Structure 1
Amino acid sequence: MQSTVPATTFNLPSQPGEAKQSMMWTYVLFWYLTGVTQLLIGMSRTASFEGFKDATITALLWLIPLLLLPKHAKKVTGLFAVLVWLLALPGFGYFLVYRQEITQSLIFIIFESNQSESREYFQNYFSWTIGLGFILFTAIPVYLWSKIDAFTIKKTTAYAAVLGILLVVFAYPMIKAIKARDIGVAYSTIDRHFAVSSPWQLLLGYMHYERELGEIERNLLSFKKIPPLTHLTEQAKPLPTTVVIVIGESTNRLHMGLYGYYRDTNPKLSSIQNELSVFDNVFASRPNTIESLEQVLTFANQHHPDVYKTKPSLMAMMKQAGYRTYWVSNQQTLTARNTMLTTFAKQADQQVFLNTSRQQNAYSFDEKVLAPYTEILNRQDEKKLIVVHLLGTHMKYAYRYPEAYDVFHDDKGLPKDLSADQVETINAYDNAVRYNDSIVYALIDRLKHKQQHSLLVYFSDHGEDVYDSAQHDFQGRNEASPTYAMYAIPFVVWHSPNWINAPLLASPEILHRQFDNADFIYAFSDLIGLRYDGFMPHESVVNSAFLEDPILVGNPYGRSLQQLVDTKALTRHDYD
């Protein structure tokens, strides 16, 4: 006599497609709630479809409660759907207004703003178009939920389905962790995939905000304990005085028409070339933003990489000299990688953060900086420093410029034997360089029209190899295998006709000096007329006492420094 399966919640369904239909409608319901915003982000070309892909996969997890409690399918699904809907509304609404997604960077900006500024983030929600969007966003899930019914399913089938879902969602992160022999890899991968959709988007975003903010506050506390420069003096100068530092991103000068590149990637800057001091032998010390700027914006260098922890930063120096300081950034604000960068920004008297993107593959055009920059220029400060940090030509290059700057499409003049994808990458990079040219020109032009005693310095944090090296087979940056293009950066100075230290830039000879931009703080001090104990004139590229240094690249903590290829071999002149 054959045994029979007890009539439990996990029995076979009385109607053959019942379970499948309920699970299908449940998946579509949660796929919609968690993925529709990411779908709109991708369709609007605000960012890639990567977030939508992640939401499509993680939505499978909402089938698990249904599989375990099939008899209560409608109630269970409705309960979770309401929760997800409530937490998805802010992200959906924010996209409708600002065409961006909610991230920890946005949370940071909102909490760092005053009450009036925070209110501006939300006041646009109260329009009839946003209200209509919310109605549609609610009505569709209600319809999908109405299609779900209770069902029965075999216990073994349900458990097998749950296991399959867990494998689909978590197998890849675990495999990555096993290969890397680091469980942290699995955590970071899971975190990245879940951070795009409700309810994890807000929950993880706030957790990340708290974690990164804590790190920034600890850094700021450490910086506050650093004693100021001793015997700091400043050369007398006309007032008002405005000093601007423009920090580019991933731009190598080999792709700049201003430096002889065969393509016209610098039409704007070339049109005012007679007003510029264009240094053609300047190099970054490290090929990554944070590590590079830890040296550029402090007294640290490749031989003394930790000095930024014990000596004042450039921002602290300028505040000590009596300058009102501002930081305008189109870089990502609050990520695990950017905490030190945000710490430098937070040392300024005022910060304007403009990029809330979760990922780099997102549109955040640098023209965003122009409005706040102009507003700051119009402020009545006797002396001010404005740091403008651009997104520049950061990968992925096609996200760095609007359609109007999509100029280069062919392979004319490019190295032979490049693949179609490589040609497309180079064209996108050159388009990004051309757009960057327009932004830097606009920053100079607006400063020029203020007709103040003013100075602007533009450089990139590091370069990028875009199939520039010998075999033309590498794109990106790799500190372990350095190439010339990764470190060759633009360095351009503009000043008003009455700039007090214009004579320092008068000699054409200085433009060809080999200079490590880790020593930027000395050249900058010379240009604006600052002196203090520890100032080293031989490290300032504009000083008559300047001594050229070798360009040493590599990880200074790994004792792997080497001379950069195709640069002059020299003796290092440094402090002990």
Structure 2
Amino acid sequence: MKIKCSKILQYGALEIVAIYFSLLMVMSLLTGNLVYRRSQSLLAAAIIVVLTSHLYSDRRKYFITWGALGTLLASVLYIYYNLNDSSQVYLAIKYLSFSLNESCLIILTVSMLWQRTKKFILVLLLILALIIPIVFWGYYLSMDAWFASDTLLAVMQTNLGESKEYLSDYFTVSGMAAIIFIVIVAGIVWRNMQSVLLVKEKKHFTAFISLALLVSATACYKTRDNLILNTGWKAKENLQKYADFQKMQAQRKSIVRLNLQENGKQQGVFVLVIGESQSKDHMSAYGYDKKTTPWLGEAFKQDNFIKFTNAYSCHTHTIPVLTYALTAKNQYNELQLENAVSLLEVAEAAGYETAWLSNQIKYSAWDTPITVIASEANQQDWINHNIGETTVSNAYDLKLLDSLKSLKLTDKMLIVIHLMGNHGSYRERYPRDFAVFSDMSSEVGSYDNSILYNDYVVSKIYEYVRSLPEFNCMIYFADHADAVEEKLGHDASKFVWPMTHIPMYIGFSERFRQKDAAMVNILRNSQDKVFTNDLIFNIMLGLMNIKIPDIYEQENDITSTYYNSDIQRFKTLYGQRFVREDLQ
């Protein structure tokens, strides 16, 4: 008996060593470096699987099933290292360990509950485990990109309709093939799992299986801080920041009222128009070879228009951009988002009547900081009523002109207009009369048509607001651009510089241009300076002559002589990339 136990221990030790070094070899092949430091979790996974295998009558079938499921779950590491350098090795090791421990836990759970619970519950357990490889492989083969936390956050803050449009534009046959392949392999694993039988007649079986479940679950918990799950944790952390932003709304408003300095007798109407997914690289007013912006091209010839040639977006997704652009938070300060006062909060405290007009979907009352900011407006009109259903608008952007004309106007007012603009699917953003670029490829042609229609819409908005007796100026900027030629949209995980090439311009009334001639001259002399759109908040405060100590930043206000135009400091993707890379 002692000899038999000794052999079991010897063989068990050899199995553990073999599995452990095999896992080290896999990680070394993936990263291109010999990996052995901080690999204790791999050793622990090897020990757990070998010891657990003795609870089964057919250990060989157990190892095959465990290996197949573990490989399926861990296969996403190949995607990461195929697209990235050999960084974050420790977090990758932890995910590999997590995958193997999770596989062990799933097999144990199915074996234990096979006769005690409904089968669909166990199938659901396996499907939940497969979400990671399905999402990451489907996304990789469709977009040739890593499914990063920014991507997940964008998905979490969108709706089913927008997801459908995105998939119709970018999802590929290879992506679908990957999902089908994973499902087929999972089906084979599932069949094998049903035939991997526990040796229930063993002494103290219940104690052993309970211990195995506890150890496997604990090992999964200990390795939860890993390369893949951190994608979800980071997205959740950002969502929590957004929730905190809403909770602190009353406190922020109180701080503004206490610290606001008198903004003089500044009167007038200021209009802020926010474009969507618009690239200046596809605007003829910025040098594009197709005449996509005829009105803007003529407007730029007038003395009361200023075109900014080096404007960049601070991110490539709408929510991160506007969260910064419309609050005191930016890439260059240390302010916590929840403490960052919004533009509308400040304007209201300074005595401005505020209005928010949008053709974007209002997902729910408090989904994002954008809806929190918009909720502060005294007057609101959301013309896209398909909340949570689709991004196919009830009307094209020109319908916002009716909303604009319906506003109750005052002599001191801030009007924010958020267009649907050039958001994909591009062909949904313009009426048929604007489908003029049929000689180009479908995607590029549709995008250029949407740019042409956007130019028409903005021209009509400007034509109306300039006729208002108290009109001061209209400021236009896009949240981000789309990499249309590269067919990448604006996905941050597949970042290219064209995603940040946004238009920005200001049109002044003749009265304002004369009254604030010094400021207008500063802006004209700054039109070629680098600017990121997370600084819109400071520009608006400068134009509206609102001064709040410790909130307004003159070094980040391009209307000020103190604006810091050093190109070395400008960033995008929330500080991950420097604009100077694109300018070199």
Q: CA deviation at 1:554?
A: 2.5
Name the SS of the counterpart of 1:498 in structure 2: helix
Question: What corresponds to 1:222 in structure 2?
Answer: 248
- Which letter does structure 1 place at the counterpart of 2:291? D
Query: How far apart in 1 are the matches of 2:501 and 2:399?
Result: 27
Do structure 1's residue 537 and structure 2's residue 492 form an aligned pair?
no
Larger displacement relative to structure 2 (497-506 or 262-271): 497-506
Which runs of structure 2 are paired with 1:97-136 in the superposition (5 Å)? Answer: none
Name the SS of the counterpart of 2:526 in structure 1: helix
Q: CA deviation at 1:246?
A: 0.4
Pick from 415, 436, 460: which aligns with 1:442? 460
Name the SS of the counterpart of 2:337 in structure 1: helix
Say if 1:448 and 1:496, in contact at 8 Å, map to a contact too. yes
Question: What corresponds to 1:503 in structure 2?
Answer: 518
Name the SS of the counterpart of 1:543 in structure 2: coil
Inter-CA distance 562–513: structure 2 relative to 1 (3 Å threshold): closer
Name the SS of the counterpart of 2:291 in structure 1: coil
Inter-CA distance 427–192: structure 2 relative to 1 (3 Å threshold): closer
Pick from 455, 462, 485: which aligns with 2:480? 462
- Which letter does structure 1 place at the counterpart of 2:520? L
The CA deviation string for residues 267-298 of structure 1, in whole angstroms up to 9 with x for no partner, is: 12223321311111111111111100111011
Q: CA deviation at 1:346?
A: 0.4
Question: What corresponds to 1:120 in structure 2?
Answer: none
Question: What corresponds to 2:505 in structure 1?
Answer: 492
Do structure 1's residue 334 and structure 2's residue 350 form an aligned pair?
no
Question: What corresponds to 1:148 in structure 2?
Answer: none
Inter-CA distance 451–532: structure 2 relative to 1 (3 Å threshold): same
Q: CA deviation at 1:356?
A: 2.3
Q: CA deviation at 1:171?
A: 10
Question: What corresponds to 1:520 in structure 2?
Answer: 536
Do structure 1's residue 244 and structure 2's residue 271 form an aligned pair?
yes
Question: What corresponds to 1:267 in structure 2?
Answer: 294
Inter-CA distance 368–339: structure 2 relative to 1 (3 Å threshold): same
Inter-CA distance 173–246: structure 2 relative to 1 (3 Å threshold): farther
Query: How far apart in 2 are the matches of 1:168 and 1:393?
Result: 42
Question: What corresponds to 2:217 in structure 1?
Answer: none
Name the SS of the counterpart of 1:566 in structure 2: helix
The CA deviation string for residues 126-174 of structure 1, in whole angstroms up to 9 with x for no partner, is: xxxxxxxxxxxxxxxxxxxxxxxxxxxxxxxxxxxxx9x9999999988
TM-score scaled by structure 2? Answer: 0.56
Do structure 1's residue 566 and structure 2's residue 582 form an aligned pair?
yes
Query: How far apart in 2 are the matches of 1:174 and 1:326?
Result: 46
Pick from 376, 391, 406: which aligns with 2:435? 406
Q: CA deviation at 1:318?
A: 0.2
Pick from 481, 495, 499: which aligns with 1:482? 495
Q: CA deviation at 1:463?
A: 1.1
Q: CA deviation at 1:178?
A: 5.9
Inter-CA distance 375–503: structure 2 relative to 1 (3 Å threshold): farther
Say if 2:241 and 2:337, in contact at 8 Å, map to a contact too. no
| Identical columns (%) | 23
Pick from 343, 363, 367: which aligns with 2:372? 343
Do structure 1's residue 371 and structure 2's residue 402 form an aligned pair?
yes
Say if 2:488 and 2:494, in contact at 8 Å, map to a contact too. no
- Which letter does structure 2 place at the counterpart of 1:285? C
Inter-CA distance 295–407: structure 2 relative to 1 (3 Å threshold): same
Do structure 1's residue 257 and structure 2's residue 276 form an aligned pair?
no
Inter-CA distance 431–177: structure 2 relative to 1 (3 Å threshold): same
| Structure 1 gaps, min length 5 | 1-162, 197-213, 412-422, 468-472, 569-576
TM-score scaled by structure 1? Answer: 0.57
Say if 1:299 and 1:307, in contact at 8 Å, map to a contact too. no
Say if 2:311 and 2:501, in contact at 8 Å, map to a contact too. yes
Q: CA deviation at 1:565?
A: 3.0
Query: How far apart in 2 are the matches of 1:299 and 1:391?
Result: 24
Say if 2:411 and 2:470, in contact at 8 Å, map to a contact too. no
| Structure 2 gaps, min length 5 | 1-117, 137-146, 165-239
The CA deviation string for residues 223-270 of structure 1, in whole angstroms up to 9 with x for no partner, is: 112221614221323x5x111110110001111111111111111222
Inter-CA distance 261–292: structure 2 relative to 1 (3 Å threshold): same
Question: What corresponds to 1:90 in structure 2?
Answer: none
When the two chains are superposed, the root-mean-square deviation of aligned CA atoms in Å is: 3.7
Question: What corresponds to 1:432 in structure 2?
Answer: 450
Query: How far apart in 1 are the matches of 2:156 and 2:479?
Result: 26
Say if 2:422 and 2:447, in contact at 8 Å, map to a contact too. yes
Aligned length: 362
Question: What corresponds to 1:551 in structure 2?
Answer: 570
Say if 1:501 and 1:528, in contact at 8 Å, map to a contact too. no
The CA deviation string for residues 40-71 of structure 1, in whole angstroms up to 9 with x for no partner, is: xxxxxxxxxxxxxxxxxxxxxxxxxxxxxxxx
Question: What corresponds to 2:105 in structure 1?
Answer: none
Say if 2:313 and 2:501, in contact at 8 Å, map to a contact too. yes
Question: What corresponds to 1:137 in structure 2?
Answer: none
Say if 1:466 and 1:476, in contact at 8 Å, map to a contact too. yes
Query: How far apart in 2 are the matches of 1:242 and 1:395?
Result: 32
Say if 2:314 and 2:574, in contact at 8 Å, map to a contact too. no
Query: How far apart in 2 are the matches of 1:242 and 1:362?
Result: 28
Say if 1:551 and 1:567, in contact at 8 Å, map to a contact too. no
Say if 2:385 and 2:394, in contact at 8 Å, map to a contact too. no
Query: How far apart in 2 are the matches of 1:566 and 1:281?
Result: 11
Say if 1:483 and 1:564, in contact at 8 Å, map to a contact too. no
